[in-house]
Structure 1
Amino acid sequence: MRRLGELEAEIMDRFWRWNRPATVREVVDDINLHRDVAYTTVTTVTSILFNKGYLTRARDGRIWRYKAVATREAYSAALMEDGLEASEDRPAALVQFVENLDDSEITALRKALRDVGRRAKQ
């Protein structure tokens, strides 16, 4: 999975935070609170995100309403998986990754491993 470009990430951030269908106009208006971006530019990039499978869309009269296909967390997990696949030694890559975690992240990782282990036993 390719990492999102700057504007792609900015657009996806809105869909992930809002967790609801939204129009290009809503996205443009929100981004324009912080910096200027053209409606046509956001329309183009949103269409690209749809074609890449990051967004779904449905007609609402004459406009499209877009919605994120997956969560931000699922996207992040896919990036991490791609990073592991780039390594010739996945266990060593995992060790390097874990060594960079802070205490709260290690606690969360331990909990996740316990939860996955419990589900696997069911």
Structure 2
Amino acid sequence: MTPEKTARLGTKTIRYAVILVLLTAIAGSATYAVMSDTSIQGLTVRFYNVSRYCSNSTPAVLTFNFSQVVVYSTASLETSLTHVHFTMSADGVLFGTVNAQDSKFGPGQSVSYSLRWLVLASTLQLSQPQTQGS
């Protein structure tokens, strides 16, 4: 081989190596992005030990307790939750929003929250059941 061919071969090898490294980096980044998106899109929220009661005080206060709210993901990446808000509404009536702590959990793990909403009964416009005349 002539020195020119050897130099060209070395330059081509370096180019191919750089291209291979770049393609590997791009593929790795894309894979991580898809897995990260899946971990957030695949979140599941479960509610346990839910109760409600109305106080006898004036004004009456409705209290909704969610003793354990569990958030988990089936993805295989660590999941971070930031700016966590839980909003409760029923039949178009907004009961309120509760802010919760930011948290982080790994694959196969979960995070648990305890939530409570206090609502003045007088602020709700609840419909009364219809009774049929006899």
Q: Which of the five TM-score ranges fits, normalised by the shorter chain?
A: under 0.3
TM-score, normalised via structure 2 length: 0.22
Greater Rg over alpha carbons, structure: 2
Higher strand share: 2
TM-score, normalised via structure 1 length: 0.23
